[in-house]
Amino acid sequence: MSTTQSERLRELLEPLVTSQGLDLEEIAVDSVGRKRVLRVVVDSDSGADLDQIADVSRALSAKLDETNVMGDAAYDLEVGTPGAERELTEHRHYVRAVDRLVKFQLTEGGDLVARILTVDDEGVDLEVPGVKGRRATSRRLAFADIAKARVQVEFNRKDKKDMKEEEEA
């Protein structure tokens, strides 16, 4: 997809997405066989439910039908959310990932897996899980020290209520 087409799509679609209370995270046009697929990724601070996805999908489809931004060739429109293991690329992504486990690739080399506790303009405060029965430790990480960050899926995470009950016992 050319930059100009990407910019035109973003300019056209972002106001519609924003009017639905969502953020436009990504736009991609991919070829699948002879057909093209326009993938639009949306999200919000509280997440996006299926009704919101359906509403924004209908609004985007109507807008695309009334313009010629995609050209005359057939295409499919897919609207969705970033998914569980999203890459964190914007400040708002880090804010949304508070209390989540994240794998950081550091600019100095190496990886760090830690839970985001707080986020400010300069970086993140983390809780690094303890190893072999040791207590978790705190660490501050500046955004400049982060090469890449991706949310990790946790299957056996205890919620805050469970952790509080354990501390009281």
Q: What is the DSSP string of 19-66?
A: HTT-EEEEEEEEEETTEEEEEEEEE-TT---HHHHHHHHHHHHHHHHH
The C-alpha atoms of residue 56 and residue 62 are separated, in whole angstroms, by: 10
Domains and CATH numbers, the chain: 3-80 (3.30.300.70), 91-168 (2.30.30.100)
Mean pLDDT is lowest, of 72-81, 122-131, 156-165, for: 156-165
Residue 31's alpha-carbon distances to 20, 28, 37, 64, 74, in angstroms, are 28, 10, 6, 18, 11
Residue 157 has pLDDT above 70, yes or no: no
Q: What is the pLDDT of residue 5?
A: 77
The C-alpha atoms of residue 25 and residue 89 are separated, in whole angstroms, by: 10
Residue 3 has pLDDT above 70, yes or no: no
pLDDT in tens, 100-117: 999 999 999 999 999 999
Mean pLDDT over each residue of the chain, to the nearest integer: 87
pLDDT in tens, 42-74: 988 888 889 999 999 999 999 999 988 888 888
